Every structure is written in structure tokens, then in C-alpha cells.
Structure 1
């Protein structure tokens, strides 16, 4: 009997903790469709503006980070919508010239997936790391996770976009390695820049927006 009562008490405590966590991660604002539309528009506009502002600085950008952030805050569907809309406008009306159709198709897919990855990361934090809206994200473990994700997203973009460009221009993979190595310095700058952004900028933005919404 004593064992059963202890088990019941433990299960009740777990349920209370789960309910408390759900409450802390619940926002009445995000339940309003009109407000979500405003946030989708805001995140999309922010990504585009930041993209244009940094367009003339080689491989330094906050475009990827903003799309990832939108998915982290708004979830899978809205993160993918923001990734698609913002990348379409920025890449098609790029001040350095519109992307060729094969590259544009890849960019739309990549940035849509980036928004999705942001949402999946948020789900991981809430379920596995017990992340709450008022938690401090400037922890080594969290910063490490963000850094790895930022590096992987950027590395995959550089590798695959170069592949698409080579196939579009040359129609063969024979020129891929020389083409990729030619821009290796800029690739490294892009990866390092985004990794540092995900480590040092992203946690603060998430905390700030979470406090505003929750």
C-alpha cells in the first residue's frame, strides 16, 4: 500500500510539472490567427531587410538566422512559410541579380527547411531539455547545440548550392571540386559567421521574443 501511494504521489508530481511547463510555454497571442499573420509578415520583412542590408558584405548574413528564429518561435508551418516567402523575394529581387531558376528552386527549398529545423529544435528543447519561456539560453550546452545547427545548415547550403550552380552552368560534376575550392575562403567566412551568430545572437533573440509573447 505504501509503495502504491508513493507511486501515485510521484505520478501526480510529474503531471503537475508537465502542466506547469505547458502553461509556461503557452501564449494566448499565438492562438490568434490575425496576430500570427502579423508575425509571419514581420519575420519575413525582417529577414528580407537584413538580407538587403548585408547583401554587399560577402557571405556575412543574418537571413538564415532570422528564418530559423521564426520557425523556433512560430512552429513548423509558419516557419516554412516565412522561409519560402522571404527567400523568394530576396533571391528573386536580389540587388546582385536574380538567382537562376535551378538555384532559386534550391534556395526556396533550403530556407523553407531552415524554418522547419527551427521549429523542430524548439520542440526538442521543450520535450528533451525542458525549456521554458523564461529560461536562460546562454548555457554552454544550448549554445553548443545552436552552433552545431548553424554550422550544419550553412555548410549544407554552401555544398549543395555549389552543386546546383555547377550542374546549371557546366552540366557536369567534373568542375565541382575546382569551383568549390575557388570560393573556399568565402565559404569558411559564411560558415564561421553563421555559427557565431547562432551561438551568441540567437539565444538572446529567442529569450527576448519569448518574454514579449508569453
Structure 2
């Protein structure tokens, strides 16, 4: 199907982004402009503009005289990104505690009840969806577009790692406990407590991913 939207390169970028996250365009793979242009039925001009967008987001890297490749996320990248994410999402929780209305807290309460049910039933995929929605809700409650924008960009890089930290032993229960701690601080309007609890949550996510990667390397050894 031919793309006809005015900002065609944004649509192309969105399609390529989805394919990267789905693993169809694997980390380290070469992005053949001729082939991609034929697949998308577009000229190479909007494709190149789309690749510039993805390069700016960190999903793609451009190598002079070689072309574009899907970026690969290293353990060092994750070690550097997660502390930043922890600080940023912690600040969101801080501001959310100051701004959340009673109605907002009721909505979050319902989301956490759903999260508890999913954790108890060990429905990990559904838990991921609710978990993400809760993070997004807290970011929205902070009402800080600068924080939201930087967090969204960093999350795209982390998503490239394609690691599911909830599969680490005991992580599902631990994650739920951390979420409830954040929510308890939000309900108490304890901004500093919400900040600290969210930072702990993100720090432990990184620890779980590290343990999962270590286990995967051991299996392959």
C-alpha cells in the first residue's frame, strides 16, 4: 500500500520502528535502502528522512560509506541508561504525588488491583501491559512534557534489548511489591517517598535484566 500522508517520512519511521521492535529488523542488520523503498512502495527520499529520525532516536546508526544499521544495545548501554531512567521516572513520581487528584488516585488504584490479579495468576504478558500503562499514567500526572519526551526516547533504546525482566526468578512478585510501594507513596502525597520508591523500582529492573542476561550466557556456554 502506498503511503500518501503529508509527513510521509514520519509514517515510514513509524513502520520501521515497529519492525525493529518486533525483531523483523534484527539488531546489527543492514538496512538496504533499495529493498526497503521497494517494500514500502516509496522513493528513497522519505526513506532517508525516516532513517535520520531513527538515527536521532538511537534505534539506527549510520556508518559513512556503509549505510545504516539497526543499533545493538550492550550491557554497558543498559548500565548507563537505567540510572538516568530511574532519576527521570523518580522525578515524575515526585511531581505526580503533588498533582494527582482523588479521581486520579482512584484510577491508579483500579490499575494496581488489575496488576495484583495478573501477578497472582502469573499472566506475565498482561502484567507487562498494565505495568506500562501505570508508568505512563504516572508520567502523565507529572505533567512535565520535557521529562515525558526524554523518558520516551530512552525507553526506545531499552526496548531494543528485547529482554523481559519479569522472567527472572522471583521478579514478578518483586515488581508488584515495588509498584505497590510507589502507589502507597502517591496516595500519601509523599513526593519524596514516591521518588525514592520509583528509583528503587527502576534500579531493580536493571538488576533483574542483568541476572537474566547472565543466565542466558550460562546456557549458551
Q: Same fold (TM over 0.5)?
A: no
* Structure 1 or 2: more strand by fraction: 2
TM-score by length of 2: 0.26
Structure with the higher fraction of residues in helix conformation: 1
The alignment's TM-score, normalised by the length of structure 1, stands at 0.26
